[in-house]
Structure 1
């Protein structure tokens, strides 16, 4: 039952927002009593935490699988971006921003785990790109990895990037292109532009 509750809550939180969805809403959607949910999760805070960490693990495992596909580092970032967007839904509810605003401690824990995971992935990606002559060999990988993480975190701010004005997909794609154009060699830029062209077809 834990898994079913988490799955339903995840779907509703990502679609409607962490703030908007109540325990009553989840119980009603599942056709169970609110009391049943409280037998598995002490309160909404504990359910939000379970949903957040479960989603983090799902995305982390998916990224690990993508990293074994042997794609070049530019294409790899595009595939990861598409995978994350699919799992977070391309909605205008800004779930991460709501998490930060209404559940700051859970958000802080998530950011720490994301930094550990994403930091390692980006470092490997940057080094691989340099080895393949797709990324410039004069970049400071530790610094660029932090720039990338900071940017990925900031673009989830709904006040800076109003989801009604800018779709999540639009913002993610523009940021990824911005990041890659700053570090790509001419060989890398050619691959990047082909990927953008293919995505726009």
Structure 2
């Protein structure tokens, strides 16, 4: 039952936002009583914490599996993009903006974990790109990895990138192209252009 509650809450939160959904909504969707939910979770914030942790672990595991394939760094970034977009497919609101606003402690905690995890992945990706001569040899890996993190985090800010101005499904791709064109060598640019061209077909 606990897992069912978490799964239902996850779907509701991603569709309608962490703030919008109440314990009543979860209970009604599952056709159970709130008492049943409270027998597993002390309050809504406890459910939010578990949901956010599960999403982080699931996405991280998926990225680890992609990294294990040892494809070239540019292709790897686009495969990770596909994975992330798959997980974001049901987001009809701005759940992560609501998380930051209404559950700041949970947001800050997951933000630190995301940064540490992404740093490790992106630094590895950049170093392999340098070894394969796909990225410019004069880039500062630590600087670029942090700018990348800021960019990926920033495009989730609905105040800056509202869905009325930017198509959420295209925004990540726009950022990736912006990021990669600034660091690729001519050799890397050929791979990048090929991927972009194939994605447009």
| TM tier, smaller | over 0.9
The residue that corresponds to 1:5 in the other structure is 5
Structural mapping, 1:2-151, within 5 Å: 2-89=2-89, 91-151=91-151
Rounded Cα–Cα distance in structure 2 between residues aligned with 1:167 and 1:46 = 32
Q: CA deviation at 1:34?
A: 1.1
The residue that corresponds to 1:154 in the other structure is 154
Aligned length: 201
Rounded Cα–Cα distance in structure 1 between residues aligned with 2:43 and 2:165 = 34
Greater CA drift, 88-97 or 27-36: 88-97
**CA-to-aligned-CA distance 1:77-110 (integer Å, 9 cap, x gap):** 1110110111122534111111111111110001
Normalised to the residue count of structure 2, the TM-score between the two structures is: 0.97
Q: Which runs of 5+ in 2 are unaligned?
A: none
State the secondary structure of the residue aligned to 1:41. Answer: coil
Contact 1:73 1:128 in 2 (8 A): yes
The residue that corresponds to 2:182 in the other structure is 182
Q: Please report the RMSD computed on the Cα atoms of aligned residues, expressed in angstroms.
A: 1.0
Rounded Cα–Cα distance in structure 2 between residues aligned with 1:94 and 1:200 = 26
Normalised to the residue count of structure 1, the TM-score between the two structures is: 0.97
Rounded Cα–Cα distance in structure 2 between residues aligned with 1:94 and 1:191 = 33
Rounded Cα–Cα distance in structure 2 between residues aligned with 1:46 and 1:162 = 29
Q: CA deviation at 1:40?
A: 0.8
Q: CA deviation at 1:189?
A: 0.8
Rounded Cα–Cα distance in structure 1 between residues aligned with 2:196 and 2:90 = 19
